[in-house]
Amino acid sequence: MIVVTGAAGFIASCLVTRLNAANFNDIVVVDNFNVERKLANLKGKHLREYVDREEFFEWLDTHHEQVEFIFHLGARTDTTEQNRDVLNVLNLEYSQKMWQACCRYQLPLVYASSAATYGSGTLGYADDDALLPLLKPLNPYGDSKNDFDNWAVQQPEKPFFWAGLKFFNVYGPNEYHKNRMASVILHAFRQIQETGSMTLFRSHNPEYADGEQQRDFVYVKDVVEVCLFLMQTRRDSGIYNLGTGEARTFLDLTLGTFAALNRTADIRFRDTPEDIRDTYQYFTQADMSKLRRIGYDRPFTSLEAGIDDYVRNYLVPGHYY
């Protein structure tokens, strides 16, 4: 059996689809299944069992001998969450319990970290363990992810294989439920369909023109390929960046969405909301050399190709992956 936590969410549900495509159908999905709008992400998939996240560790105590691999992708993913108690429970303490259970039962583990751990990027974007205690995330969400990364590498007891993945700006199908936290592509698609235009955040940093803020946008189908690679190789444990290695602007992203819809671009700007303005990342770009060094050699999907696939094959027809 393969366990996937956060399974009704965006990245994890896409991973389940990719596992099914590779003929892994004995999958146990773990989540809070009371969130109705997320359940469509799992519809039609080959699954063995649904386990509520609050009951998972008790379930694992009973079934651990049947489990082959755990993907721990469940977390509180709202980067605007200010309640540190919520983040500590879901992102730090739950992950610590998962780590300890994997050590106890000798189960391999891949877990979700985040590029939010890099903060403003003053120390660069290298996935080097020596930098972990020096990183200064810009929000409590990033703190919670960095706290676990630091805790994990300091543990004297580790799973026989483990990997933490610092996801950069992931976009793609199955994010319909994410509301404000959805990718700008989904927001652009909806705005263009409704109004014919797209409004981006204005830059409040003199080093960047409006719309020229840059992020490392990575297609979710590439993310799940990396997950599959790690499950199959199970060597070279550590923390890895997961982006493309190429920063692109929000203008690039928005123009690509207009192009995929065969619409004339009409881009406008508004002030960045005050609750995120001071913690806004103006540039991210993953250093991907560490993942490449351990043998991952698949090319990453270009932003244009990823947007075109996402918009034409999922957003326009309303399909899931």
What's residue 180's pLDDT? 85
- Which CATH number is 130's domain given? 3.40.50.720
Assess contact for 154 and 133: CB atoms under 8 A.
Answer: no
- Annotated catalytic residue 43: no
Residue 270 in domain: no
Annotation-wise, does 71 bind a ligand?
A: no
- Does residue 254 have a known ligand-binding role? no
Task: Please report, for residues 33, 51, 185, the alpha-carbon distance to residue 37 in angstroms, rounded to integers and kept in the order given.
Answer: 10, 18, 19
Query: Is residue 77 situated within a structural domain?
Result: yes
Mind listing the pLDDT tens digit of every residue in the chain (321 residues)?
Answer: 999 999 999 999 999 999 999 999 999 999 999 988 899 999 999 999 999 999 999 999 999 999 999 999 987 766 666 767 777 778 889 999 999 999 999 999 999 999 999 999 999 999 999 999 999 998 888 899 999 999 999 999 999 999 999 999 999 999 999 988 899 999 999 999 999 999 999 999 999 999 999 999 999 999 999 999 999 999 999 999 999 999 999 999 999 999 999 999 999 999 998 888 888 889 999 999 999 999 999 999 999 999 999 999 999 999 999
104 is known to lie in a ligand binding site: no
13 marked as binding residue? no
What is the number of structural domains in the chain? 1
CA atoms of 237 and 250, how far apart (whole Å): 33
Q: Is residue 97 part of a domain?
A: yes
At residue 81, the pLDDT reads 61
Q: What is the pLDDT of residue 35?
A: 85
44 is in an annotated binding site: no
Quote the pTM value. Answer: 0.95
Which one of 118, 125, 141, 240 is the catalytic residue?
Answer: 141
Q: Determine, yes or no, domain membership for 252.
A: no
For the question of residue 141 being annotated catalytic, the response is yes
Average pLDDT, the chain: 95
Q: Which domain holds residue 120?
A: 2-171+219-244+285-300
- Displacement of CA 29 from its chain's centroid (Å): 17
Give tens-digit pLDDT for 100-158: 999 999 999 999 999 999 999 999 999 999 999 999 998 888 899 999 999 999 999 99
192 falls within a domain: no
Q: Which is the catalytic residue, given 45, 178, 290, 296?
A: 178
Was 178 annotated as part of a binding site? Answer: yes
In this structure, is the dihedral angle defined by the CA atoms of residues 234, 238, 242 and 246, taken in order, positive or negative? negative
Residue 308 lies in a domain: no
